[in-house]
Amino acid sequence: MTGYGRGAAERGGRRATVEIRSVNHRFLDLKLRGAALEGALEDQVGARIREAVERGAVTATVHLERSGPAAIRFDADAARAVHAQLAALATALGTAQPDLALVIAQPGVVQVAASDDDGATGQAVLAAAAEALTQLAAMRDAEGARLAADVLARVTAIAGFLDTIGTRAQAAPAEARRRLDERLRRLLGDEKSGEVRELDPQRLAQEVAILADKLDVTEELVRAQSHVAQMRTLVTGKGAAVGRRLDFLVQELGREFNTIGAKSAAVEIVDLVVRGKAELEKIREQVQNVE
């Protein structure tokens, strides 16, 4: 699922900005960028993102800057030593004595404070990441709601196809008996005399029973309807990640459709199977990227 979030936070003179982008991907592919991300801080940011996102190609970029002037320190002893040397050189050359700006410009006189911020950098980055993840989740939730509406509509269509298949399947044995009876009468008939040899009712009943068993799709329909009910529950539920479970149910529902189609001889049932599989394929494309 796609989404974008941006967060900013300031702690102890450090300002962190975190941008998190997510695009469709079947699994979680996480990339972290930023000079501030190293060691334990990188692990912490990665862990926060993994807790919030299960699927998607996610890129998190961290920018860090000072929110105020850098802390500096003057080394008076170094300044005296530098001034003495510059003054001696000026006297030897017969030039003007060195001013303060020249002394300060010499290495070692002015020192920038070390970047010991007592964890301020990490605190700023994690706070900014939390804000970015909140925005990312909101955008992904909005997209998820639209996807859920589309998937639910297609699941409802599939449920209707299954109900119609169930009704048509009930008439399949009687229709099969009629076709078998007509075929046998044609085979046993005498074209010259027009007479028809008598059929063995018991044998005909056995053949019809065997054919009816082959055409029976009750088990497949029960399983398919169960899959549809579970898909509805997952799509309308809240809180838990459902993408992989939906993916599995789509796969299993496809198996049931294939079996029903293979068992059925009725054109109407086969047509309903084709239409159901077409809707199922559209659902499959959607749930590949659902969280």
Strand-pair partners of 112:
72
Instruction: Examine the domain organization and report whether 54 and 91 are in the same domain.
Output: no
Q: Are residues 217 and 165 in contact, defined by beta-carbon separation less than 8 angstroms?
A: yes
Residue 193 counted as domain residue: yes
Instruction: Examine the domain organization and report whether 172 and 249 are in the same domain.
Output: yes
* Residue 118 structure tokens: 């007592």
CATH number at residue 39: 3.30.230
Instruction: Examine the domain organization and report whether 270 and 218 are in the same domain.
Output: yes
Instruction: Examine the domain organization and report whether 52 and 95 are in the same domain.
Output: no
Instruction: Examine the domain organization and report whether 63 and 197 are in the same domain.
Output: no
Residue 179 counted as domain residue: yes
For residue 234, give every residue at least 6 positions away whose Cβ sits within 8 Å of its Cβ, in sequence order, or none. 242, 245, 246, 249
Residue type, 165: I
| Alpha-carbon distances of 209 from 37, 127, 257, rounded to whole Å | 71, 71, 23
Please count the structural domains in the chain.
3
- CB atoms near residue 50 (< 10 Å): 12
Give the model's pLDDT for residue 191. Answer: 47
Instruction: Examine the domain organization and report whether 194 and 279 are in the same domain.
Output: yes
**Ramachandran quadrant class, 94 (left: phi over 0; alpha: psi -120 to 50; beta: rest):** left
Give the model's pLDDT for residue 212. Answer: 56
Place of tokens 């017969």: 94
pTM greater than 0.85: no
Give the model's pLDDT for residue 30. Answer: 93
223-242: b or e for each residue (b if 16 or more CB lie within 10 Å)? ebbebbebbeebbeeeeeeb
Instruction: Examine the domain organization and report whether 183 and 106 are in the same domain.
Output: no
Residue 118 counted as domain residue: no
Residue 40 counted as domain residue: yes
Instruction: Examine the domain organization and report whether 98 and 59 are in the same domain.
Output: no
**Ramachandran quadrant class, 276 (left: phi over 0; alpha: psi -120 to 50; beta: rest):** alpha
Instruction: Examine the domain organization and report whether 107 and 14 are in the same domain.
Output: no
199-210: b or e for each residue (b if 16 or more CB lie within 10 Å)? eeeeeeeebbee
Residue 117 counted as domain residue: no
**Ramachandran quadrant class, 239 (left: phi over 0; alpha: psi -120 to 50; beta: rest):** left
| Alpha-carbon distances of 147 from 1, 15, 26, 240, 282, rounded to whole Å | 10, 37, 16, 16, 11
Cα separation, 6 vs 33, in Å, equals: 14
Residue range(s) defining the domain that contains residue 168? 140-287
Instruction: Examine the domain organization and report whether 266 and 210 are in the same domain.
Output: yes
Residue 235 counted as domain residue: yes
| 27 secondary structure, DSSP code | S
Residue 65 counted as domain residue: yes
Give the model's pLDDT for residue 264. Answer: 80
Give the model's pLDDT for residue 255. Answer: 93
Segment-wise mean pLDDT, segments of 10 residues, the chain, 291 residues: 91 88 88 82 91 90 76 83 90 89 87 62 92 93 88 94 88 66 61 53 61 73 94 82 87 93 84 94 85 73
Instruction: Examine the domain organization and report whether 19 and 82 are in the same domain.
Output: no
Instruction: Examine the domain organization and report whether 183 and 212 are in the same domain.
Output: yes
| Alpha-carbon distances of 7 from 59, 126, 131, 195, rounded to whole Å | 14, 10, 5, 91
